[in-house]
Amino acid sequence: MKTSTVAELLSKNIKLHDIEIKGWVRTFRANRFIALNDGSTIHNIQCVVDFEKTEEETLKRITTGAAVHIKGELVESQGKGQQVEIQVKSIVILGDSDPETYPIQPKKHSFEFLRENAHLRTRTSTFSAVMRLRSSLSFAIHKYFNENGFYYMHTPIVTGSDAEGAGEMFRVSTLDEKNPPLNEDGSVNYKEDFFGKETNLTVSGQLEAETYAMSLGKVYTFGPTFRAENSNTSRHLAEFWMIEPEVAFMDLAGNMDLAEDFLKSILNYVLEQNKDDLEFLEARLLDEEKVKPQAERSEMSLIEKLKFVADNHFKRVSYTEAIDILKNSKPNKKKKFKYIIEEWGADLQSEHERFLVEKHFKCPVILFDYPANIKAFYMRLNEDGKTVRAMDILFPGIGEMVGGSQREERLEVLKEKMKALDIDEEELWWYLDLRKYGTAVHSGFGLGFERLVMFVTGMGNIRDVIPYPRTPQNAEF
Ligand code: 4AD
Ligand code: MG
């Protein structure tokens, strides 16, 4: 007989019949009722054991965490709380679980505790829901690009150029750390290193994606990205996944349209496909909110919030307008911001971004045309000579979700910018070649995947939306 999944057995139009199922015991109650879960759905299926016909030795081994193989009959449930249940005819314990030491007890655990047990935390409802959503979101992303004529491109993880300027990098080296080969001046001689030059883990696949956009037209990367910043926040990881589309002949306005359409389409996909998990997470959040003071509770439930973003236009606001709003805002005048906005040119901190999104506009905001000197070297300089065609998309509860721009396609302007920032032209010779041979307007953006998963699941800490988070002082598992 084919083994069924819990999801299959709980689906509405399944026929009642003899079945076989394998999974893990969540709870075992009254020597009779097993709540069984196999990861296929947030829901458990109730398996009713006839304790008179089951050996005592077997009954003892049905404990939380044990893996079991059950044969039985799917019947309409006698009790409340479920439509169907399994009348167990035979049960085999595939693997015991010591109930004394099993960390995932059937009770509420703190997320901190579960992070320390990240190898087992997907045996809880919350983390299994989060990780199913993570998987579904990745699929929705590939689906969107595939249906819209984009090619999936694998950009390198090890890179030889450190000019992106997106953040501090992790060095990749096979040199003997105690006794590295030295140059005459005492510095390390990377010519003798594995790649014959200094190499690092990539901070972004953008520059390589640009090369493919300028031949294949529409491409995207979706891969791991590494930043060695020492920022221990609930929104930063040292290893995170980034989605970076890059499109030839597309300007900044087109870039904004693409990003908005892309995000909405993905939200709609999970709203349709992951209802059960979203409903569970929504209820979890409502529970959590109950203990908060009224003023701190959110106005919308999780699903309402996702629908709101999927159905409403993102507000498009220039950096200059945003600075005016912030300068005249209450928290700025009353010096409630940690960083007071005094004048045009100031870099926006997350407190400012969140004020704009959560208090002022109350919807996702696309900020564009930032001052050139607070943004990366490759962004297209505007005619005013002081702003660049950059855009950041800010989300409620998250802050920066997306960062992107129209790229500088003019060779001379780009070279000048690199010179001013002391970026070696020789190192980026191939990047400059794009501006020599068939250069054209092109644009793209980067979406931090974990920030998207945070938004969709309502989880408050980025460490809880990636299987094994890498953060300063932490690389367990
Ligand atoms: O704004 P960033 O640094 O942009 C780039 O890297 C560009 N090369 C993207 C492009 O135009 N192709 O990063 C893009 C996004 C941010 O908006 C944020 O969502 C996420 O990546 N991000 C991080 N997520 C988790 N942990 C970190 N340390 C992150 N740094 C950036
Ligand atoms: Mg950014």
Supply the DSSP string of 35-80, one letter for each residue.
EEE-SSSS--EEEE--TTTS-HHHHHH--TT-EEEEEEEEEE-SSS
- Buried b / exposed e over 341-365, threshold 16 CB at 10 Å, is beeeebebeeebbbbbbbebbebbb
- Under 8 Å between Cβ of 72 and 89: yes
Q: How far is the CA of 402 from the centre of ligand 1 (A)?
A: 7
pLDDT digits (tens, 9 = 90+) for 237-279: 999 999 999 999 999 999 999 999 999 999 999 999 999 999 9
166 burial level (CB within 10 Å; 0-12, 13-18, 19+): middle
Q: Which tokens sit at 240?
A: 């995170």
pLDDT band at 297 (very low <50, low <70, confident <90, very high): confident
How far is Cα 368 from Cα 319, in angstroms, rounded to an integer? 6
Domain with CATH 3.30.930.10 in the chain: 125-168+203-464
pLDDT band at 163 (very low <50, low <70, confident <90, very high): low
pLDDT digits (tens, 9 = 90+) for 71-102: 999 999 888 888 999 999 999 999 999 999 99
How far is Cα 404 from Cα 263, in angstroms, rounded to an integer? 14
Domain with CATH 2.40.50.140 in the chain: 6-102
Per-chain mean pLDDT for the chain: 95
DSSP 120: T
How far is Cα 438 from Cα 374, in angstroms, rounded to an integer? 29
Phi, psi angles (nearest 5°) of residue 443: -150, 165
Identify the CATH number of the domain defined by range 6-102. 2.40.50.140
pLDDT digits (tens, 9 = 90+) for 352-397: 999 999 999 999 999 999 999 999 999 999 999 999 999 999 999 9
Task: Name the residue of 137, 161, 164, 400 whose CB sits within 8 Å of the most ligand 1 atoms, as the mutation to test its pocket.
Answer: 400
User: Would you state the CATH architecture of domain 125-168+203-464?
Assistant: 2-Layer Sandwich (3.30)
Across the range 45-62, mean pLDDT stands at: 95
What local confidence, expressed as pLDDT, does residue 225 receive?
96
How far is Cα 339 from Cα 4, in angstroms, rounded to an integer? 57
- Under 8 Å between Cβ of 466 and 450: yes
pLDDT band at 231 (very low <50, low <70, confident <90, very high): confident
Q: Which residue has the higher pLDDT, 62 or 164?
A: 62
36 Cβ inside 6 Å of ligand 1: no
Q: How far is the CA of 405 from the centre of ligand 2 (A)?
A: 10
Is the pTM higher than 0.85? The answer reads: yes
237 Cβ inside 6 Å of ligand 1: yes
